[in-house]
Chains A and B, each alone.
Chain A
């Protein structure tokens, strides 16, 4: 574990083990419905659209655009005290689904970030098991 890391740490669940293993290996893995022929987020075995379980895993390109963002000045948790201001965001992946993340390697100022701005995934290792997919300007 990164020394002193005290933010919430994901606990992989049976349906998300492969997602988190992928992130640790530097891959953004998505579930894909082979009946609907579309990817979806977050990982679950049954397609939330059609309800079938004819689903597989794909590796996303890591390319995305910002769907929305905010700039947090008041930390919601003591672990984020040293990070403010930081930039939580929802990004729309090239494959279609949206996911929540943080935009990093950017100035935390509304004039430096814009909705629809292209971004790409980067992985931040926070423990021996967990890396978080975050996004930076492409």
Chain B
């Protein structure tokens, strides 16, 4: 089990000093995924004011670090290719902090890039994995079907109508945030409750707006020691708490379809940071689907099991509401290339720095970023604070 005394001792020892997307996100058919990694990496280093030659730790998912490091011309002394879907890049932050604290590296570069919309080659599944033998033959493939199976179980346990209303609330509130982010895929496209309810089915109980986008995008994060962060271009956003883990891979092995591993990563990250849910100014919660947000908020401890629909009622998570959630417009309405988790951190850092223009929160000091990977399988949570 995590040793809290040791975790508390390194709380705040590392800081995020650079964040960026690739030059373009959304529809980017003219660039491949490696280029999106490299572009985002270069932009994040520029954001930090750190030269590429100083990077000595490389972290990525979806590729091996040697693929990305070679492409970018980096020869790292510490590498981590932990690939647990969209949670990977949030988890890399904790790994970077541990590596920096232990002395394995000083400047950690975490990169992501995927051509979810325009990719030319889809990787085949490994036939030895449970998914290939026991789910795919039944047409249980791709995220919408797995997550809709989990959502229907939630509806059965906690009420179909109130769950539907909660899913609509998340879809509409997240769209409102996207309408304030010029980089968002749906920046120019508002959505009403009626439009939500009238939209077509993808996999019942999911309407199309219950499902994230599929875009092309890259993003990157630069992490260094809190001490070194002081001399970077914009200073640091300190990493106060971090936690990770998973409790299944394929959906039918998930112990409880309504509870994610966030039930451990939320409390652990908050305790390590020495803060409570109420003190957070912003929650960036991976929204692969509207249902993901409801199950995750409950699992993280913002509210109890089955209380999510009340927690997000009446557009409480929309601009002007008292629980700002996914202020970039999220995976639902801003961008979602496949493994979106890194973008939760990019937005959290920008909000903490006060860089988000018309959607900027007042006095944003403390934020949670939370990634989910696989089919509600893996989670990573970080607590970030402005200096």
| A interface residues (Cβ-Cβ under 8 A, vs B) | 7-13, 16, 41-42, 67-77, 80, 83, 85-86, 88-90, 98-102, 110, 115, 126, 132, 134
B320 interface residue per 8 A CB criterion: no
A10-B132, A69-B149 known; A99 and B142 CB under 8 Å? no
- Nearest CB in chain B: distance from A96 CB, A: 13
A68-B156, A68-B257, A70-B148 known; A42 and B140 CB under 8 Å? no
Q: Which residues of A contact B137 (CB under 8 A)?
A: 7-10, 126, 132
A11-B133, A42-B134, A115-B152 known; A76 and B139 CB under 8 Å? yes
- CB of B149 within 8 A of CB of A70, answer yes
A8-B132, A68-B257 known; A90 and B149 CB under 8 Å? yes
| B interface residues (Cβ-Cβ under 8 A, vs A) | 125, 127-128, 130, 132-142, 144-145, 148-150, 152-153, 156, 200-206, 250-253, 257
Return the chain B residue nearest A20 by Cβ.
B133
- CB of B204 within 8 A of CB of A71, answer yes
A80-B139, A88-B139, A88-B140 known; A100 and B134 CB under 8 Å? yes
Interface of A is mostly: loop
Q: What 4 additional pairs, Cβ within 8 angstroms, besides A10-B134, A74-B144?
A: A8-B137, A11-B132, A68-B153, A132-B137
- CB of A13 within 8 A of CB of B139, answer no
Q: Which residues of B contact A12 (CB under 8 A)?
A: 133
- Nearest CB in chain A: distance from B155 CB, A: 9
Q: Which residues of B contact A86 (CB under 8 A)?
A: 139
Q: Which residues of A contact B252 (CB under 8 A)?
A: 41, 90, 98-100
Interface centre among B132, B133, B145, B205 (most CB of A within 10 A): B133
- CB of A68 within 8 A of CB of B139, answer no
- Nearest CB in chain B: distance from A78 CB, A: 11
- CB of B145 within 8 A of CB of A100, answer no
- In the bound complex, how far is the Cα of B250 from the Cα of A110, in angstroms? 24
- Nearest CB in chain A: distance from B134 CB, A: 5
- In the bound complex, how far is the Cα of B134 from the Cα of A100, in angstroms? 6
- Nearest CB in chain B: distance from A57 CB, A: 16
- CB of A72 within 8 A of CB of B145, answer yes
Q: Which residues of B contact A101 (CB under 8 A)?
A: 138
- CB of A76 within 8 A of CB of B134, answer no
Closest CB pairs A-B (n = 6)? A71-B204, A68-B153, A76-B142, A11-B127, A8-B136, A70-B148
User: Which of A8, A88, A99 interacts with B145 by CB under 8 Å?
Assistant: A88
- CB of B141 within 8 A of CB of A77, answer yes
- CB of A74 within 8 A of CB of B257, answer no
Q: Which residues of B contact A89 (CB under 8 A)?
A: 149
- In the bound complex, how far is the Cα of B255 from the Cα of A25, in angstroms? 30
- In the bound complex, how far is the Cα of B134 from the Cα of A70, in angstroms? 17
User: Which of A42, A74, A83 interacts with B203 by CB under 8 Å?
Assistant: A74
- In the bound complex, how far is the Cα of B125 from the Cα of A48, in angstroms? 23
User: Which of A11, A41, A102 interacts with B139 by CB under 8 Å?
Assistant: A102
A10-B132, A88-B145 known; A74 and B202 CB under 8 Å? yes
- In the bound complex, how far is the Cα of B138 from the Cα of A126, in angstroms? 12
